[in-house]
Amino acid sequence: MFNLNLPTVIDSAAAESLKVSLLGQMGSHTPCRIDGGRVERIGTAGLQVLWSARLSFAAQGLEFDITPLSPALTQALAMAGLDGPEHFNLLKEPH
């Protein structure tokens, strides 16, 4: 299992760094668990990276979870329409 902690702010630069980390990990064919508990702000680029990674991991038959979710990340996913179970395997834990 690959574990990754998201930064507090995911702007365009942080999204690029996140993309590089996730792309590097996809070749290992291991499931991915992302800790989104510290996210205070995430932009569209960050959401796009997470969604693209989710689709890529799923195409390989690999699990891709985000847990825990910060309130800001939860809200951003909902605003983007990515909060349904068909989008992410969101393991919601109490804050």
DSSP string, 25-87: HHTTT--EEEEETT-SEE-HHHHHHHHHHHHHHHHTT--EEEEEE-HHHHHHHHHTT--STTT
User: Kind of pairing, strands 41-42 and 89-90?
Assistant: unpaired
pLDDT over threshold 50, residue 95: no
pLDDT bin (cut points 50, 70, 90) of residue 94 is very low
pLDDT digits (tens, 9 = 90+) for 3-36: 999 999 999 999 999 999 999 888 888 999 999 9
pLDDT digits (tens, 9 = 90+) for 56-88: 998 999 999 899 999 999 999 999 988 876 777
The highest-level CATH class for domain 2-90 is: alpha beta
**Domain spans in the chain, listed from the N-terminal domain onward:** 2-90
